[in-house]
Amino acid sequence: MKPIQVADQPRLGLLRTTRITVDGIRYRLFRTSVTVAVIAMAVAFLMNILSESLMKRAVAHDTREQIARMHTVHDWAARLTRPGTPEEIIASLSRAEEHDAVYRETAAMAKLTPEAMAELHRSAREAADILRFFDDLDYARRRALIHAASGAGIFERLGTPTGFEQFKTALAGMKSVRFIMRLNDLTRFLSAWPKTLARIEQVRQGRAQAIRNVDAARGGRTILAALAETGGEFGQAVRDAGFAFDAQVTAPGVADRAQRILDQRRLEKSAESILMLQAIAQRRNVVPTDVTVAMMWGLLRGRRAATWYRGRLGQSIDTLKTENQKLARESEELKKNDEQIRKNNEQIKLNDEKTKENLHTIREKLVPASDLTPERHRNREAALARAERLTVGMGRGWMGLGERMGWLLFVSMLVCVIGISNAMLMSVTERFREIATMKCLGALDGFIMIMFVLESCFLGVVGGLIGAVLGSLIGLGRMLAAFGTTFMASVPVVDLLAAMIVAVGLGVVLAAVAAVYPSFKAARLAPMEAMRVE
């Protein structure tokens, strides 16, 4: 009798298994494309929310920085000309930290000890929270609680027995309103308010004295003209007066912005000359009375027009000088035209060589010069205000994405998990007969498991890539429609690429994990039992 030898079943290597898997995908292209589409849609939904969250966070950060830069020169102009109201001092101190320049500046101007400054800082924060609470109330509730008091007057009213009793009674009847602190803490704050108000007055007096020192250094110049020269003696005078005016960071930015505003005003003044009005009217084919400042700025949008304007400005200056000389000669004989001479001198002063030089510098550095136009400035401020409104809440919550976007991202991840898991479960379950056939041909359980997991990974990669690109484009398009092209520079490219990699990786992992259980269950079935599965 011939002996029967039972050998071990052959095991296929990973490369051969991969080739078989790829061939299987190619033969089932339509069914595979449906699975890829489901994975792509799930990942696209996730990537859309993720990209929108990242871009909104970046835009919110960039918007706050731009608004702060735009308002810096005006903030410093206000700080150097007026000491501020108690409400303004409370607001600035509540936002400051112990290591901030504003904190140190306030302590030095008011001559407060570290302990007194720390106590004032705590009181300012509590006062700001209380004022914010009342500001958020509607008119009826606010009037019921504090009557017509506003600002620091709220604390004075609550400090009286009648006012506090009215507040406590009205608050008890408002079940939907929750005060920000306990009444005992409010009583403690109100008892210390006179002392806090006295220290705030010290701060105001210190700032008033510093402002007088700055006024002396200004020498009769406007505050903008002085701020445009903060890189020199005036900047040092501001620091000597006690203001935290950093010479390396703050001063150059303030000087540049102030100079831009002065240049804008000087160029607008140049268009008031009758000769320039006539030149602009001729170029625009309108009558001189219809020429506006906006029309003048429209001419400065390109190099050629700006060069033309500069040349005509020089010609008008020469013409005015010639006319002035002629009128001066005539005035010696007739003693007339003095008023015309005075007006021409003013025009010459406004339209001197410095004006031409400024225009040339502006055109060379900032072409198109429309960057300085009031219309462009207003449009940019409107865009910043819109962006600030649309990104309210960003910076808080999970990963700084805001509470709302954090929940949306969580829901999108849940949808992604369910969608991919469902697609892979259906893909594996529908192939029980194929699995049974492979087992009849000698395929081992491990081979079937590896093949299905590899196939799932391939589908996850393809679907994840398609979904990540599609979701990013949709998110970018939505943000472009919401914010416009102004904030294209704020797009976090690196973060978006990292998010795309994470989304693709998540798609692959979910596809592989979702295929493990059904393929394991199918691989454990007997061939005949798997054949009978419908």
Q: Is residue 451 part of a domain?
A: yes
Do 492 and 438 lie in a common domain?
Answer: yes
* Least confidently predicted of 217-231, 242-256, 510-524: 510-524
Residue with tokens 């960039």: 62
- Report pLDDT digits (tens) over 155-208: 999 989 999 999 989 988 888 888 888 889 999 999 999 999 999 999 999 999
What's the half-sphere exposure (Cβ side, CA atoms, 13 Å) at 326?
A: 6
Q: Is residue 244 part of a domain?
A: no
Q: Which of 152, 186, 219 is the last residue of a domain?
A: 219
* Least confidently predicted of 147-161, 413-427, 445-459, 465-479: 413-427
Q: Which of 333, 366, 390 is the last residue of a domain?
A: 390
**Confidence (pLDDT) at 2:** 63
Q: State the angle between helix axes of 445-483 and 374-390 in degrees (0 to 180), rounded to the nearest 10.
A: 140
Q: Which of 219, 248, 276 is the last residue of a domain?
A: 219
| Nearest alpha carbon to residue 317 among 274, 284, 282, 285 | 274
Do 158 and 206 lie in a common domain?
Answer: yes
- Report pLDDT digits (tens) over 306-358: 777 777 777 777 777 777 777 677 666 655 556 666 666 666 666 655 555 55
The mean per-residue pLDDT over the stretch 214-241 comes to 85
Of the two residues 82 and 372, the one the predictor is more confident about is 82
The mean per-residue pLDDT over the stretch 527-532 comes to 68
Mark 228-267 as b/e (b = at least 16 C-beta within 10 Å): bebeeebbebbeebbbbbeeeebbeebbbbbbbbbbbebb
Q: Is residue 7 part of a domain?
A: no
**Confidence (pLDDT) at 64:** 67
**Confidence (pLDDT) at 27:** 57
- In sequence order, which residues have a C-beta less than 8 Å from that of residue 444 and are 6 or more positions away? 9, 11
Q: Is residue 384 part of a domain?
A: yes
Looking at every residue in the chain, the average pLDDT score rounds to 76
Phi, psi of 102 (to 5 degrees): -60, -40
Q: State the Cα–Cα distance between residues 255 and 214, nearest whole angstrom.
A: 16
- In sequence order, which residues have a C-beta less than 8 Å from that of residue 323 and are 6 or more positions away? 344
Q: Is the pLDDT of residue 144 over 80?
A: yes
Report the SS3 class of residue 4. coil
* Least confidently predicted of 73-87, 178-192, 228-242, 395-409: 395-409
Q: Could you give the residue ranges of the DSSP H alpha helices within 231-352? A: 233-240, 250-270, 274-284, 293-299, 303-334, 338-350
Report the SS3 class of residue 442. coil
Q: Is residue 255 part of a domain?
A: no
Q: Take residue 34 and report the two structure tokens written for it.
A: 């449906």
Do 369 and 493 lie in a common domain?
Answer: no
Residues pairing with 442 in the sheet = none
**Could you tell me the residue range of the domain that residue 192 belongs to?**
81-219
- Report pLDDT digits (tens) over 68-78: 666 788 888 88
Report the SS3 class of residue 245. coil
Q: Is residue 499 part of a domain?
A: yes
Do 441 and 406 lie in a common domain?
Answer: yes
Q: Is residue 243 part of a domain?
A: no
Report the SS3 class of residue 112. coil
Q: Is residue 6 part of a domain?
A: no
Do 508 and 431 lie in a common domain?
Answer: yes
47 near 409, Cβ under 8 Å? no
User: Diameter of the chain by CA atoms?
Assistant: 149
Q: How many domains does the chain have?
A: 3
Do 351 and 410 lie in a common domain?
Answer: no
Q: Is the pLDDT of residue 399 over 50?
A: no
The mean per-residue pLDDT over the stretch 492-518 comes to 82
Do 274 and 344 lie in a common domain?
Answer: yes
Do 30 and 94 lie in a common domain?
Answer: no
Do 311 and 185 lie in a common domain?
Answer: no
Q: Is the pLDDT of residue 382 over 70?
A: no
Do 98 and 46 lie in a common domain?
Answer: no
Confidence of residue 398 (pLDDT cuts 50, 70, 90): very low
Do 205 and 92 lie in a common domain?
Answer: yes
pTM comes to 0.57
Do 378 and 416 lie in a common domain?
Answer: no
* Least confidently predicted of 16-25, 159-168, 461-470: 16-25
